[in-house]
Amino acid sequence: MLARVLFFLLLLVPGIAGAHASLIATVPEDGAVLEQSPTAVRLDFNEPVEPVSLRVVDASGRLVAGPAGSVVHNATISLPLDAGLPRGSYVVSWRVVSADSHPVSGAFAFGVGVAPAVADAAADEPAVWKPILAAMTALTLAGLALSAGGALFLVLVGPFPRPFRPVAGGALLAVAAFAGGTLATGALLAGQDLSQIDGNAWRLGFATTRGDALLALAAASLLLLAGAARNNRLLLAVGGVGAPFALALTGHVATAEPRWLTVPALLVHLAGMVFWLGALLPLFRLLRQADAVIAVRRFSSLALFVVPLLMGSGVVIAAVQLGGIDALADSFYGSILMVKVGAAMALLLLAAWNRESLTPALERDGAVGAVRLRRSIQAEAIWAVLLLAATAVLMQTPPPRATAGGHHDHAAHEPASGWSVVATEGTRSAVITLDGDAIRVQVLGADQAPLAVKQVVLVFARPDLGIEGLERPAAAAGPGLFEWRPAKLSPAGRWDLRVEALVTDFEKAEFEAVIDIFPTNEQRRVP
């Protein structure tokens, strides 16, 4: 403290105008890949400076060294790293004060054992989230089966036995579980542990396609609740189809190519699942009463139509996601898929037995037949739980098509599926597009025509993590178009971006935007 006071008192001495420091070199260098952890981080300036903060942040945004503890020696500042750094990507963010009291700041990145800013933040994910996410997904599916499935049952098969009311409870369960899954997704992206969860996690999770899906699911659930309360078949039908549709807005399948095939297949599959599994509980309850025969018959004839669609759409989705028959045996995804298929086969066998043997038995001898049918449905329920669990795990697992070389990230070739924002400064604007693994900038003049700029530098900052300006130059990619590829920043999350475009030798235009950078197998949307 005293040192700093003395330092600044010097500014009052006449004749000393003070100097504005600049960084000459760093150890490790920006973008360096080191074999082992450095023992210290060093910054060399052209003048003596006073450190304000020097932080080292890891790939999940956790502070691993600093901000205090830096050592000054003439014009060099170093921060010792007593505990070595584990393998991963790191950002060093620094802020110093020069003799002219102007703060100077910046950031640079390096990696230990990996290239810095590896987009896949999976290496540092707290392990607790995967099972929580799977559980939330399973609960969402169960809630959907109860609510949307129950609604479709009411519309297509028959009324519920009183006082059975699965639709409202199921809808609330689905929305709550999906919201929980969204929060968990955000926490995973932010690299937060269970104890560290904060509003950031919700914001990040909501900013993915899950946010859209949650809103759609909530809307469909409202329709379902209204339909159930007023016994309105139209509302129930719309909600019953809309709720599975909401879930099709997010996830690996929804973005798989070709979209014209996968999205309808997913819709059919979800709707079919919801109808079939959602009918189990109402049928079970109805069989307690004497007049279940009509409902069972009607369900049976509908199932004859729904089940092939369900199986067919499942095969289509599996084929797209696996990318090849080898992946079935080779990958984790393939193994879980086989578990799911096994459970589906068991359900199919039980359903066939129901139709061929148990339903006629019900018609002949009501009481005994009902007991047998209920036992069969109980067995089906157990297999259904296994099936839902397997599905929930599948939905969290990157499919083989995404990790196979060449198929990685179709979004990179589909500008329409990218994300862009327009930032303005005065009469000029910059269209910033985040597209696969590139960030593109197109500067437009006052007339909205492309403005030929000489140079573009992207400056990234994370004020929430204390990361100051991390500069990355963009390369010319066409007339007036610049891109930075591969656009990899670590840690994943929401970054402040400043685009510095050199319009003429003497004029610089600066545009500011906020962008979300996620690991490549997550979806992004306009914030």
Partner 1 sequence: MRSILRAAAAASLLLASSSIAQAHAVLEQNQAVTGSYFTAVMNIGHGCEGTATLKVRIKIPDGVTGVKPMPKAGWQLETVTGKLDKPYTDHGKTITEGVTEIVWTGKLLDAHFDQFTMQVKLPDAAPGSMIFFPTVQECEKGAHRWIEIPAAGKTRSDYKEPAPFLRILAKP
The distance of closest approach from Cβ of residue 189 to partner 1 in the complex, given in angstroms and rounded to an integer, is 31
Q: Which residues contact 331 (CB under 8 A, 6 or more apart)?
A: 322, 400
CA distance 151 to 194: 36
* Residue pair 394/336 in contact by the 8 Å Cβ criterion: yes
x/- letters, 507..526, toward partner 1 (CB under 8 A): xx-x----------------
The distance of closest approach from Cβ of residue 6 to partner 1 in the complex, given in angstroms and rounded to an integer, is 4
Helices (H), 290-431: 293-322, 326-330, 332-353, 359-364, 366-396, 400-403
Count of residues interacting with partner 1 (CB under 8 A):
32
Query: Which one among 27, 32, 34, 47 touches partner 1, defined by CB under 8 A?
Result: 47
Cβ proximity to partner 1: between 102 and 288 the closer is 102
**Quick check: 27 binds partner 1 (CB under 8 A)?**
no
CA distance 462 to 369: 66
How buried is 337 (Cβ within 10 angstroms: 0-12 exposed, 13-18 middle, 19+ buried)? buried
Q: Which of residues 48-77 bind partner 1 (CB under 8 A)?
A: 48, 72
Q: Which residues contact 490 (CB under 8 A, 6 or more apart)?
A: 59, 89, 90, 91, 109, 116, 117, 118, 119, 121
Cβ proximity to partner 1: between 7 and 164 the closer is 7
For the four alpha carbons of 353, 359, 365 and 367, in that order, the dihedral sign comes to positive
x/- letters, 483..502, toward partner 1 (CB under 8 A): -------------------x
Residue type, 283: L
What is the CA 353 to chain-centroid distance, rounded?
41
**Quick check: 2 binds partner 1 (CB under 8 A)?**
yes
**Residue 39 DSSP SS3:** coil
In whole angstroms, how far apart are CA 227 and each of 171, 240, 277, 384? 12, 10, 20, 26
The distance of closest approach from Cβ of residue 24 to partner 1 in the complex, given in angstroms and rounded to an integer, is 6
Cβ proximity to partner 1: between 134 and 430 the closer is 430
Q: Give me the numbers of helices (H) and strands (E) for the chain, helices first please.
A: 14, 17
Q: Which of residues 89-148 bind partner 1 (CB under 8 A)?
A: 98-100, 102, 104
The distance of closest approach from Cβ of residue 65 to partner 1 in the complex, given in angstroms and rounded to an integer, is 20
Cβ proximity to partner 1: between 247 and 513 the closer is 513
* Residue pair 401/256 in contact by the 8 Å Cβ criterion: yes
CA distance 300 to 306: 10
CA distance 410 to 521: 10
**Quick check: 505 binds partner 1 (CB under 8 A)?**
yes
Cβ proximity to partner 1: between 425 and 437 the closer is 425
Query: Which one among 12, 17, 329, 416 touches partner 1, defined by CB under 8 A?
Result: 17
CA distance 377 to 362: 13
Cβ proximity to partner 1: between 87 and 102 the closer is 102
Query: Which one among 7, 164, 353, 419 touches partner 1, defined by CB under 8 A?
Result: 7
The distance of closest approach from Cβ of residue 503 to partner 1 in the complex, given in angstroms and rounded to an integer, is 10
CA distance 314 to 272: 10
**Quick check: 83 binds partner 1 (CB under 8 A)?**
no
**Quick check: 357 binds partner 1 (CB under 8 A)?**
no
Cβ proximity to partner 1: between 259 and 454 the closer is 454
Cβ proximity to partner 1: between 326 and 507 the closer is 507
Stretch that binds partner 1, among 42-50, 257-265, 366-374, 437-445 (CB under 8 A): 42-50
Q: Which of residues 315-354 bind partner 1 (CB under 8 A)?
A: none
- Residues that bind partner 1 in the complex, under the rule CB under 8 A: 2-4, 6-7, 10, 13, 15-22, 24, 46-48, 72, 98-100, 102, 104, 425, 502, 505-508, 510
